[in-house]
Structure 1
Amino acid sequence: MSTNLKVVGASWIKTRISTFILVAAGFLSICALFIAKIERPKYDGTYCATMFWNEKTGFNIEYWKQRNDLHNIPKGAARICYKDSMYQNGWSQLEIETEEKYPDWVQAFGAGMLEGTLTWSNIYHHWANTISSPCDTDESSQNFCTWLRDTVESNYVEMKKTAKLRASHDHYWHQIDLLTYQLEGMYFGWQRGAKRARSGLEEDFELTDFLLLNLAADIQDLKENFTLTLENGKKSLNKIFPNARASMLVKLFPDFEGNFKFIMGHSAAASYSSMLRMQKRYKFKFHVSPINWNTNTVPGTDISFSGYPGILASIDDFYMIKGRNVHSVVGGVSIRNENPSLWNDINNNNYHIPLSFRIMTASRLGQNRKTWEKSIGRYSITGSKQWIRVDLKKINLLQKLHSNNNYSKIDGLNDLGVHDIILLSEQVLNKYKTKDLTTSMSINWTSLWCNGIPKLKEISLFSGIPFENNNSNMKIVESNMTNLEDVDEFLRKNAFRGDLLGEQASPYGNIDMKLFTFDPVLEITDYNAISGPLFTKQKPRFFNNDISIESLTIEEPNKIYSNENSDEFNIEIISSAEPSKIPAPARLIRNDILAIAKHRYHHNRPFKWSEVDDNGVNHQGQPNEWNFSKVKPVWAWHSQ
């Protein structure tokens, strides 16, 4: 009897367990259906992290994975949000913000660590494309790169030593010191990111590699120095293509209602291997002095720029700067130097400040013309540039004077305080000069186009370019440009595509376009950028009576019309939409010039790596086709 009872009890327990399992399964099924109907959050690929720091524990990074609520990211000493959208629009986007209550060196090192650890993959690709690959080209390149690494390392050691000694009493050297902290923090962060990803690359990458990335604007000058003075080489200026230059255009004018507008366009020129592009924004709350924390923060605390992975500055030289009593836009292009003998006066044993360090220091300390000039021109040798700096805050003064009809004579502008709004600065090696263009541009409503040809007489003569030949360049481009669409068309028309030269093809040319406008009445700025080699949107035709460009051959050059005094390639291509023009006197054209005429004629299609012979040019991490639209960065943390 007892045995039967045991059996029955056991069966009852098993039955109850089975019932519970079925109920639980049913409940889970209902939950699954309910959860399935709930819309899952959609992320756009933005990753964020925060750097925390205190004196006892040091630095600690918290990673927040993908986030949509970017404004809720904890601040810490520094925070970052990063999105790699290279294949979607040709740009990555990175934003870093630091907190004023932390020591400046903590802000700088922490910001560098965050950028290095989140962007380590793109940093490596950019290094492989632009530094490692060219150094392996041939024996001459290897010799130069060996000398370059030794020179860069010794210069950095001396520069860093001087910064440590002078930072406490010299504002300039304090900012240089912070840039070394940021650079070394980025290197440390890169190692951490590569290690977390188990890439195995961290052991082969040194701080010198980061230095070389940040000397991209200086390396060409250093190569000329190496060739001309250390190898007794021949003149090696005007590399690759004489007219493959960065281009920049600015214009200040009143609209039909009498309100001022400022428009600006900028296009960088470089090898296509460097097209891993990144929109960056640094909101660093650095102080003027590292000793007295009662001092103000630097004037330029909010700097946005078009840049590259692993580099502290723009390199293609386009900056938008905000901060305490500062609102400016700065653009730069490489300037021509036809005087190789200048290198004989350069002492290679003296340290110099790389351009990336000088321009970021000037952007932070440059509240006016005096402080800007002092920073950008100090210890300058390499990274020769032609700069335009526009003080957007002062355009409001022009607006008021224009509205009240207070100026009609050029001589009276300075008396009314209208000066240093549009500043032209030119540097060739250790020579630096500046000219205020406010008067000419605000009276004549002209457009200024900079493409690397010196405009200042002293710089022109110093660089070996006869001033009388380019004097017309100072007359400034007359135009009816009134909007960014006009600037877009102008830059595309004057862009260069080295990949379209047939047998002479090389992946080098204008690789982007930045478009900027400012309305001083509403105090609104608008900025858009396009990444990739530029192409026109309408097919031009070659203008020589009834001769078409297809009928011209490189082997047998024809008599075609050109401007013999032009500094550019002597070919005039006129859009089919334009009326007939009176051609210049006819002359025979060289084969290479004719090749460029044909290049410009076919300059109406996007660049594709798969359609060109890249000549072994590395392009890791890049999309195949560069046919992207304008991009307007949307920042998470707005100005305070």
Structure 2
Amino acid sequence: MMARWRLLFTAAFLISSSWADRQLYVFTVGEDGDVVQQVETDNPIKYFKTVQDSNVIAKALLNPTYKETGWDIIEIKTNEAFTDEEQAYAAGYVEGKVTHDAIYRHWYNTLEDICRDQEKICEEVEDFVKTNLKWLRRGMDAYSNSSDYWHQVKLYYTQLEGMADGYSSANSSPKTVLRVQDIHLLNNPDLSDIVEVIKARKNNFTNIDPGKDPKVLGLLRCSALIKVLPDGREMYAAQDTWSEYGSMLRFQKKYDFAFHNISNPQEVIPGRAMTFSSYPGVITSGDDFYVISSGLVTMETTIGNSNASLWRYVKPEKQISEGVRSMVANRLARNGREWSEIFSKFNSGTYNNQWMVVDYNKFKKGTKPEDLPDELLWIAEQIPGYIRSEDMTSVLRKQGYWPSYNVAFFEDVFNKSGNQPMVDKFGDWFTYDRTPRALIFKRDHVKVDSLKSMLALMRYNDFRNDPLSACDCTPPYSGENAIAARCDLNPRNGSYPFPALGHRSHGATDAKITSQTLILNGLQFLAVSGPPFNLTNGIPPFQWSKTDFANITRHVGHPDLWEFKPIIHIWS
């Protein structure tokens, strides 16, 4: 790839907490990839925003504030004078080069030993992924020059190729070599479901006892809330990521890529720019939470699949992974209907989520919930073999909020994906309207009247005192039963009806909130990194040195104490 193009990259490193001391480094990479030039400037922000170099394909502005805020922040901007493929490759290359240390640490913490004691199934997963990539390459070769959709698919994988090459160009140790396929794996949240497909095939796609099903461990992600204030002065969209604590090397990213439509080469795509929470080496959000220049905000919570018979619909060919499809939809869609239609193509049936698409173009300040226009909120729910999407603005009109908490809303999706057997065995926890988070959102959404109170709700956890956090457990409550989980605070010797409610290295690892005001100020969002804490409620900050799993859960590069404040980053 390097031999095809002359690549010049600009990377601005903000290396101290005060603007005056920060330095800018400019990297120019020639055809052979061996010419690197470093330039300094007194004003990296001004340089990033205003300096135009006809030879520069991509610029990256890096603010390494992870130890101070829980987030590193990177902005990447490409030059429209170059082809879309050149832009995509350059964007990936510069990010891989300037964040290579964080990429390796994230891979080491989350994937390096994932195949230990399960080498056979990992080989089968790798074969599945390889077959899928071969089919994708055939599709890209055949259609990327004539289809807007396939053009964006190709740009996604071109960016990943650049990421892998950029990482390799910066890596100097044989101990930290990452293959192209390792970068692909970092960008593939579908892997755990591919494992389920392989296991289900060996069991003739029949269900096992839900009490023994590993998905009951609660490996689902996220709480989300869309809230319209009663007087219409603001609409908030928020999401908490729930994950294993070893994943907390975090980035906020802004991509501004001047990609075009094949059908109209003079037209730049609607989703040219987007800001999102993310991870090292990952070109999607993964959480997922996006604020897009088209006026859309997209986010999801995982609903999963507990019906083994549905896994038969998952194939390595004629399907595209969820992360790729969501990014293509983010870039091409102008509204929620278009987003849902684009996303629904080539359903992979893996990483099955409830997606929320909020069209802020349709929200006018002062519009009360009951007066909201049609198509402001679209919901798309995916399971293997089936995606249902609808305009659900009517729910916002009726109740003023839309909550999401890892349970399917649409009744047919709920039933097809095998939730009723879970309800029959374990009770209300697996229902849509009586699970703890549903009841907490229903009770507390009325308390939201500002950005501050919205954040308080999204970080809420008072599991020892809140009756809605109670369970048939010993002790009689669980840190899982909250808007922002803290499963590490459940006693290890407790008794729980299923493992999700018990003690483990898992919980809410962030919160992100945006609003019309923040979007109009430059695609901004408020974000706080790390598990929730509230000393008044007896919830201490998470601290690795005080856990009993610090020697089990890898966390290289993490701070010990997670007591970060929320930030609103002002993008350049």
- TM bucket, shorter chain: 0.7 to 0.9
**What is the DSSP-based 3-state SS (H/G/I as helix, E as strand, rest coil) of the residue aligned with 2:272?**
strand
Superimposed CA distance per residue, residues 427-476 of structure 1 (whole angstroms, 9 cap, x where no aligned partner): 1123111122223313x352221001111122112112249974647998
**Matching residue's letter, 2:531:** P
Residue in structure 1 matched with residue 8 of structure 2 by the alignment: none
Match of 1:630 among 563, 566, 572: 566
Partner Cα separation in structure 2 for residue 499 and residue 46 of structure 1: 40
Task: Say whether 1:113 aligns with 2:103.
Answer: no
Native 8 Å contact 1:166 1:174 kept in 2 = yes
Contact 1:280 1:307 in 2 (8 A): yes
For residue 513 of structure 2, what is the aligned residue in structure 1?
A: 515
- What is the CA–CA distance in structure 2 between the aligned matches of 1:267 and 1:393, rounded to whole Å? 24
Cα shift readout 1:82-105 (whole Å, capped 9, x = no counterpart)? 122211111110100011111000
- Structure 2 counterpart of 1:251: 227
1:533 equivalenced with 2:531 (yes/no)? yes
Match of residue 318, structure 1, among 277, 280, 289: 289
User: How many residues are treated as equivalent by the alignment?
Assistant: 500
Q: Deviations over 1:559-604 (max 9, x none)?
A: xxxxxxxxxxxxxxxxxxxxxxxxxxxxxxxxxxxxxxxxxxx5x1
In structure 1, the partner of 2:194 is 222
Q: Secondary structure at the match of 1:333?
A: strand
| DSSP 3-state at the match of 1:505 | coil
User: Offset of 1:72 from its aligned partner?
Assistant: 1.3
Indicate conservation of the 8 Å contact 1:224/1:237, yes or no.
no
Q: Which amino acid aligns with 1:130?
A: T
179 and 64 in structure 1: CA distance in 2 versus 1, 3 angstrom threshold:
farther
Give the 3 Å change call, closer, same or farther, for CA 231–340 of structure 1 in structure 2.
closer
Q: Give TM-score, length-normalised by structure 2.
A: 0.80
AA aligned to 1:618 is R
Work out whether 1:391 is the aligned partner of 2:359.
yes
Say if 1:199 and 1:377 are closer, same or farther in 2 by CA, change over 3 A: same
Is 1:497 aligned to residue 497 of structure 2? no
1:157 matched to 2:134? The reply is yes
Match of residue 596 from structure 1: none
Equivalence map 1:390-409=2 (5 Å): 390-396=358-364, 399=366
Which one of the candidate residues 365, 373, 378 is aligned to 1:423?
Answer: 378
Query: How is 1:7-46 mapped onto 2 (pairs within 5 angstroms)?
Result: none
Q: How does 1:164-175 map to 2 (within 5 A)?
A: 164-175=141-152
Q: Which runs of 4+ in 1 moved over 6 A?
A: 56-60, 473-476, 520-525
Structure 2 residue aligned with 1:344: 312
Kept in 2, the 8 Å contact 1:91–1:531? The answer is: yes
Name the structure 2 match of 1:584: none
Query: Does structure 1 residue 264 correspond to structure 2 residue 237?
Result: yes
In the superposition, relative to structure 1, how do residues 373 and 51 fare at CA in structure 2: closer, same or farther (>3 Å)? farther
Closer, same or farther: CA 626–45 of 1 in aligned 2, 3 Å: farther
Are 2:289 and 1:354 equivalent residues in the alignment? no
The CA distance in 2 between the partners of 1:227 and 1:214, in whole Å, is 22
The share of aligned pairs that are identical, in percent, is 27
Could you tell me the TM-score, scaled by structure 1's length? 0.72
SS at match of 2:408: coil
What residue in structure 2 maps to residue 296 of structure 1? 267
Cα deviation for residue 359 of structure 1 reads 1.2
CA shift digits 1:390-446 (9 cap, x unpaired): 1101112x757x6xxxx97x8xx7xxxx2110111111123111122223313x352
Q: In the alignment, is the contact (CA less than 8 A) between 2:261 and 2:268 conserved in 1? A: yes
2:61 is aligned with what amino acid? C
Residue 229 to residue 535, structure 1, CA distance change in 2 (3 Å): farther
| Alpha-carbon distance between aligned partners in 1 of 2:64 and 2:291, rounded to the nearest angstrom | 22
- Conserved in 1, the CA contact under 8 Å of 2:519 and 2:525? no
1:90 aligns with 2:70: yes
Q: 1:458 to 1:49 in 2, by over 3 A?
A: farther
Shift of the 519–116 alpha-carbon distance from structure 1 to 2, 3 Å rule, reads closer
Q: Which secondary structure does the structure 2 equivalent of 1:229 belong to?
A: helix
Q: Deviations over 1:1-38 (max 9, x none)?
A: xxxxxxxxxxxxxxxxxxxxxxxxxxxxxxxxxxxxxx
Partner of 2:259: 286
Cα offset, 1:243, TM superposition: 8.5
Residues 522 and 219 (structure 1 numbering): CA distance in 2 closer, same or farther, change over 3 Å? closer
> Which residue is equivalent to 2:394?
439
SS at match of 1:133: coil
Please show how residues 475-486 of structure 1 align to structure 2 within 5 Å: 477=442, 479-480=445-446, 481-486=448-453
Q: Report the structure number with the largest CA radius of gyration.
A: 1
| 292 and 439 in structure 1: CA distance in 2 versus 1, 3 angstrom threshold | closer
Q: Distance in 2 between matches of 1:387 and 1:466?
A: 21
Q: How much does 1:387 deviate?
A: 1.1
1:254–1:453 distance in 2 versus 1, CA, 3 Å:
same
CA–CA separation in structure 2 for the residues paired with 1:89 and 1:164: 43
Unpaired runs of 5+ in structure 2?
Answer: 1-17, 462-481, 493-501
Instruction: Tell me how large the CA RMSD over aligned residues is.
Output: 3.0
Letter in 2 for 1:272: Y
Tell me by how many angstroms 1:223 deviates.
1.8
Amino acid at match of 2:76: I
Contact 1:260–1:520 (8 Å) recurs in 2: no
For 1:452, the equivalent position in structure 2 comes to 406
Q: Aligned pair in 2 of structure 1 residues 156, 248: CA closer, same or farther (>3 Å)? A: same
| 8 Å contact kept, 1:49–1:114 | no
SS at match of 1:134: coil
Q: Report the alpha carbon displacement of residue 220 of structure 1 after superposing the two structures with TM.
A: 1.8
Q: 1:344, 1:312 → 2: CA distance?
A: 29
Matched, 1:612 2:547: yes
Q: Distance in 1 between matches of 2:282 and 2:381?
A: 23
**1:528 to partner: Cα distance:** 1.1
Aligned-pair CA distance for 1:241? 3.5
Paired position in structure 1 for 2:342: 375
- The residue type paired with residue 424 of structure 1 is I
| Partners of 1:372 and 1:512 in 2: CA distance | 26
Match of 2:58 in 1: 78
Provide the secondary structure at the position in 1 that maps to 2:226: strand
Contact persistence 1:51–1:77 (CA under 8 A): no
Q: Aligned pair in 2 of structure 1 residues 358, 505: CA closer, same or farther (>3 Å)?
A: same
Distance 1:46 1:368, change over 3 A: farther
Residues 68, 448 of structure 1: alpha-carbon distance in 2 compared, 3 angstrom cutoff? same
- Residue type of the partner of 2:559? P
Task: Name the CA distance, whole Å, in 1 between partners of 2:306 and 2:321.
Answer: 22
2:115 alignment partner in structure 1: 135
Q: Measure the CA separation in 2 of the matches of 1:237 and 1:66.
A: 57
What residue number does 2:477 align with? none
Within the candidate set 179, 193, 196, 2:170 is matched to 193
Q: Secondary structure at the match of 1:117?
A: helix
Q: Structure 2: which amino acid aligns with 1:200?
A: P
Judge conservation of contact 1:50–1:79 (CA < 8 Å) in 2: no
Q: Any gaps of 5 or more consecutive residues in structure 1? A: 1-40, 540-601
3-state secondary structure, aligned to 1:162: helix
- Contact 2:336–2:359, Cα closer than 8 Å, also in 1: no
Conserved? CA contact 1:392–1:520, under 8 Å: no
Deviations 1:525-583 (A, max 9, x none): 752111111223422xxxxxxxxxxxxxxxxxxxxxxxxxxxxxxxxxxxxxxxxxxxx
Q: Quote the offset at 1:60 in angstroms.
A: 6.6
Name the amino acid aligned to 1:98. T
Q: CA deviation at 1:70?
A: 2.3
Q: 2:279 is matched with which residue? A: 308
